[in-house]
Amino acid sequence: MTSPLIDGLQYANWSEKVFRQMRAGRVDAVHVTITYHETFRETVLVIEQWNRWFEQFPNLIFQGRTAKDVKKAQETGRTAIFFGSQNPSCIEDDIGLVEIMHTLGLRFMQLTYNNQSLLASGCYEDDDTGLTRMGRAVVTEMNRVGLVVDMSHSGERSTLEAIEHSTRPIAITHANPHDWHPALRNKSDDVLRALGRSGGMLGFSVYPHHLARGSECSLTSFCEMIARTAELMGAENLGIGTDLCQDQPDSVVDWMRSGRWTKQVDYGEGSAANPGFPPMPDWFNDNRDFGNIREGLSETGLDADEIDGIMGGNWLRFFADSFGPA
């Protein structure tokens, strides 16, 4: 069995076209966002929609629940879809829903999405107060059932406290080093070192607001950044988490950033002049372009095993260690 190709985060406008592009790119597994600001019931409706897609396109996709499903995807020529939430809104204020969501197939949950939540502080808050009392309790419950703690949109203190409090390695599924590009969402060297020491995973994002020079970022710059991060926290702790939002209308950005929490438009990492989705870099437009990243990594001095790990092998190991009960 060849090393798998796994994407640690996507939020596309899902369609048969996208699913076929996944297969054309030989993508074995994708962690997909099913919640930004949705309540529990609204999240269940999203899962219902995914169930319809699994029925409609059984030769292209199926729901993944364990690491073994990645091997199943390779053997059957399909893509395993793993559910994740970019906010804890789906558990509302009820810790009992952590286990329910895991039973329904959720495998990643962010403790925050930019703002303060009941669990922790987001990266856009002026005052990062760390994990709350409920946050610590929820992390413990997530550890118990096998739901991965994701701190992609969280503040520095909250992220460091999550790494320390969690008894299982956490993930930052889609972000890049802050020293390479100082977006609020990108992570400091202190966070990355702590993540690596704990055995956690970082997925590198190709979303232009997370890239040096944005849409004009070169493949060489991106891959050299990955190689430098390997020196900082170990290549075995790295993967890809593209944050691909393919075919989404610009109106979706309003939901992602503003939800129902504000009457204003929150431009976030965009700008008032360009509030929609930015153009993708020319070397990554869709799921057929992962080969460009592999080729770019081969020019950096990383060896073949390290590259196989970054392109999916490391995520597979992490899935195997993380998705079951403690």
Mean pLDDT of all residues belonging to the chain: 96
Segments making up each domain of the chain, as ranges:
6-322
State which fold the 6-322 domain adopts.
Answer: TIM Barrel (3.20.20)
What does the pLDDT look like over 141-194, one tens digit per residue? 999 999 999 999 999 999 999 999 999 999 999 999 999 999 999 999 999 999
What does the pLDDT look like over 277-298, one tens digit per residue? 899 999 999 999 999 999 999 9
The two three-digit tokens of residue 15, written as one number: 């369609």
**Is the Cβ–Cβ distance between 120 and 170 less than 8 Å?**
no
Rounded CA gap, 101 and 90, in Å? Answer: 8
Rounded CA gap, 150 and 198, in Å? Answer: 14
pLDDT for the residue numbered 251: 85
Angle between helices 156-165 and 189-197 (to 10 degrees): 10
For a pLDDT cut of 70, what percent of the chain falls above it? 97
**Is the Cβ–Cβ distance between 204 and 171 less than 8 Å?**
no
Confidence of residue 269 (pLDDT cuts 50, 70, 90): low
**Is the Cβ–Cβ distance between 202 and 229 less than 8 Å?**
yes
The two three-digit tokens of residue 90, written as one number: 């789906």
Amino acid at 173: T
- Helical H segments across the chain, by residue range: 16-24, 40-56, 68-76, 96-103, 133-145, 156-165, 189-197, 219-233, 251-258, 290-298, 304-308, 314-322
Q: How many CB atoms neighbour CB 201 within 10 A? A: 27
pLDDT for the residue numbered 250: 86
pTM over 0.95, yes/no: yes
What does the pLDDT look like over 14-26, one tens digit per residue? 999 999 999 999 9
The two three-digit tokens of residue 255, written as one number: 């939901």
83 strand-pairing partners: 32, 106
Q: Which residue has the tokens 């799921």?
A: 287
What does the pLDDT look like over 47-82, one tens digit per residue? 999 999 999 999 999 999 999 999 999 999 999 999
